[in-house]
Structure 1
């Protein structure tokens, strides 16, 4: 008797794939550079029909997607009853081009500080481009063409994270006027430029250093503790040891 008919659907992806760990690790290693905005390696899956090639590929892509930053799913809609502080609402809308990686489970309110709220308010009132996407929604991060794309957001982060952009000069002894990282399409070549993954990792590492409850962090960042520790925690082993020291009475 079939206990779960979902497994017969073409789009079904199991949470875990057994007896394919070596292949999964090799495929993940080939594709993982894309998380850091790098160029992934070519990968060719071969095998007889029914061996699980499609399932393996989809599963691996889902795992990589867990490491990416969701930004384009924000817009200006939403009420926040029974709450007093500022916040941002994440809504899963796959039919309108803004899915969340964990689908409806990812829907949530995230509280933000008063300072961040003021920055967003200033941006909306002064800098935000008044535009609508193809579904008639007003994206928070907008351009004159509508919702800003993933690649544009990534490019913008590379741009604004360069010290020379925000007036700190160049810490790499480069001449700003001739530096290739000031050119459009080459800003990621600045050693100080940071990708969306770097921003997310920085936030997670800060939470780990401050010893914020892991469940709270996992809920806020919409990722499991295992994924956060593996892909985003950038504390050194020495830092981790020193943090453990404060909890050990015999040291």
Structure 2
């Protein structure tokens, strides 16, 4: 590695934004060093290394963003998509990958025998893989005149769902609530925005409840109980996705008759 001898014993601490992360890459170049760690606020400051606070400078972030565009879409997308990952240590892995690509050019993204290139590839694949599963298995319901859905992803996949569902549902307003991270993707008319949310109220519309019950009956009518294989089901749809799929939920118990009925 061109920079292997320049690993420092300093950890970078930044504000958690993508612009702040780009400033960490800028700082790494400016100081001719690779930090021992890159810590966002979510990861806290528990480290045995010295800490350097990296301030978010829009000019520095723009310079790095311009450099990434020059390296091409594969490198740029690997870093921007990988940044949505929530695995500990992903910031340092992506910074090292960026340094590798700036040193060796776009071809470095294909050098999967290199530990830094392989790590960045795995991070990107984890995020895109989860997003693709939600594109397949997300369940909307009619709610307050629009479509609503709840998901519990490991990673921040909402930006990767935006293009698909805006294209797939061009005439529908919809909201996708990421209950894991307290955020939501809202599309109303031609306007799309990200919101901070803490709670999603399920639909109480009787017609919607009837449709969900009908879908459950259809799903169960296709099921051969004697051949049910939960392990095989989990191979196609991981079990952690099941709580957000209405067909995997038990029917609500019927209300007991009133004493006055």
Fold-level similarity (TM above 0.5): no
Q: Which has the larger radius of gyration?
A: 2
Give the alignment's TM-score, normalised by structure 2.
Answer: 0.25
Query: Higher helix fraction: Structure 1 or Structure 2?
Result: 2
Higher strand share: 2
Q: Tell me the TM-score normalized by structure 1.
A: 0.26
